[in-house]
Amino acid sequence: MSTAENKALVQRFYEEIITQKNLAALDQFVSPTAVNHTVPAGLPQGPSQFLSMHLGAFPDLKASVVDLLADGDKVVALVSIHGTHQGAFRSRSSSCAGVATPMIPSVASGNSHDSSQGRPASRAAPDSAS
């Protein structure tokens, strides 16, 4: 994939999966067996289950890509996530409090990587030979 295609893929992920809540499209971006090394023990480890938990607790969750930096097959995104805590989340009931947090995840060679360790989440790009 080209640099421009990788950047577009990252942008599309946040718009389609987080903002539009289209979890049916998740397998276009992340392998169902991907491992997110930032998920605390005791929480759903699968990408779909993990996102469903967040989207259920924060139904108005939105993602805004603030900036994308790319070099070849690597993309780093500065993303602002914001929403309102309206449902149960872990052991906490709804607080109706607004939340906002910046994130800096990365993608390389069409693979989703976790935001802190940079380990591949096991999803090859459609035209990748891996």
Query: Which residues does 99 contact at the CB level (< 8 Å), separation at least 6?
Result: 58, 81, 82, 83, 84, 85
Q: Where are the domains of the chain?
A: 3-113
pTM of the model: 0.73
pLDDT per residue, tens digit, the chain (130 aa), is: 788 888 998 899 999 999 999 999 988 888 777 777 777 888 887 888 888 888 999 999 999 999 999 988 788 889 999 999 998 888 888 888 888 887 777 665 555 544 433 333 333 333 333 3
Distance CA 76, CA 108 (A): 9
Distance CA 88, CA 85 (A): 8
CATH class (in words) of the domain with range 3-113: alpha beta
